[in-house]
Chain A
Amino acid sequence: MSRYVDTFNIPADERAVRMEAVYKSFGDFTALREIDLTVRKGETVVICGPSGSGKSTLIRCVNHIEKHDQGLIFVNGVELKRGNVDRVRRDTGMVFQSFNLFPHMSILENCMLAPMSALKMPRKEAEAVAMAQLEKVHVEDQAQKFPSQLSGGQQQRVAIARALSMNPKIMLFDEPTSALDPEMVKEVLETMKRLALEGMTMLCVTHEMGFAREVSDRVIFMNDGQIVEVEQPEEFFRNPRSERAKLFLSQIIH
């Protein structure tokens, strides 16, 4: 199986994320091997592949939730290394499969904590920012409740609002709909779609092939810790090049 080779032909000032020969292992298990990837500003990239292929690890390396072992990662031109982690995290928002809202804080407090604590925003201003984001994802009327009082779909939309309250330049989505009941998937995907149309740079690990087809600019297929294919979505779905991708698609599209 041949590895995808990034040509790095996107001009430097248009690069949101650049990974060069990135490796990551957990003990004996190599989660990422020789990852080369450039993501253009404003682009929506969907990362798919079988479980254990390294998709989540890849996007978790972008904001240093996982530390890469080798190679270089640049986020908006800033190299991800000691001393720069905070700068990179301020530019990136992340949405998790399990929402990870802070259960002991109200919805509003969830969205106000980081702007007040990390950006030193005054309370009034942080509240206005948080409320504006909650309105955008249509959960403003739940602002005073605790996360446990909301549905899964509402919680995930709050998680998106919480990340957006920090005004990030890049959003990372780690299987945002995988833990949701089927009838709640759509409301979260709609929110993500709107965000993509607004021009947000997005890296989404997802099995939602409809979303990939409709919204993404490029689809990345991973297997065994490597990027195997990077394609326009129509091309990827119509004519996957690798046998592994063909098998994968035949198994997830019914």
Chain B
Amino acid sequence: MHVFNVDAFLGYLGNWFLIGGVGVTIALTGAGVVGGLILGMGIALMKMAEARPLQWIAGFYIWLFRGTPLLVQLVVIYTGLPQLGIKLGAVESALLGLVLHEAAYMAEIIRSGFLSVPAGQREAAWALSLNGGTVFWRVILPQAFRLMIPPLGNSINGLLKATSLASVISVEELMRRSEMLMQEQFLTLEVYAAAAVYYLALTTLWDLVQRPLEKHFGRFVQKKSR
């Protein structure tokens, strides 16, 4: 019995089948981020709207999708919905589940970002007779976005790892492909260690993207020059 087959581990690190899985993981994450941001923005705006029914709908949505595990959501979409005549492929199910789940978190992050911009900013913009669009895009959003970056980054880091749950509904992303390779030679530790290294590389890369973003959008926050 071997302890750890270094050659096999290194082999998995250079395995194109696994690297392809990394690509799928990145694609799932990217789609989850984009879809989650768009849907999350809608949910956040609804929750901040004056109309009570909109607030209720948004509140219910967030309660539902933050209150249930992503794994359960994925399984319900992929294996449960066909019972109601709604049949989605594995990838479509994964995308839908990831977006619905991520949107609930992003909605709250976006909302807190907007709420953190002082009311005086809006009032000053109104007093200057800026129109609603300019107030939102030029005055409020840039300030709110700066505050959203750290929690959004956190959430995206979580999403990156959460895509591994899509393996359960047979989406061939990094985790699923690792399992498939494992079943070929049963080098369990070697292949999953390689998968872990890939995940670590992805989250590290994301850190490297997030940091300059924070710096760029926070460039106006600085100590007084002396």
Contact = CB atoms under 8 A, between A and B. Distances in A.
Contacts of A101: 124
Interface string B132-146: 001000110011001
Interface residues of B, number: 23
Interface string A158-172: 010011001000001
A104 B120 contact: no
Contact of B124 (A64, A86, A100): A100
B72 to A, nearest CB: 41
Interface residues of A, number: 31
Contacts of B124: 94, 96, 100-102, 159
Interface in B96-127: 118, 120-121, 123-127
Contact of B224 (A98, A100, A104, A149): A149
Contacts, number: 77
Contacts of A166: 128-129
Contacts of A118: 128-131, 134
Interface string A72-107: 000000000000001001101110101011111100
Interface in A123-167: 145-149, 159, 162-163, 166
Contact of B127 (A65, A103, A104, A105): A65
Nearest to B117: A103
B138 A117 contact: yes
B220 interface: yes
Interface of A: 63-65, 86, 89-90, 92-94, 96, 98, 100-105, 113-114, 117-118, 145-149, 159, 162-163, 166, 172
10 pairs of A and B residues whose beta carbons are closest in the complex: A100-B124, A89-B129, A94-B127, A114-B128, A100-B120, A146-B220, A117-B134, A104-B220, A118-B129, A104-B142
Interface of B: 118, 120-121, 123-131, 134, 138-139, 142-143, 146, 220-222, 224-225
6 contacts: A63-B127, A65-B126, A92-B127, A93-B128, A96-B123, A117-B130
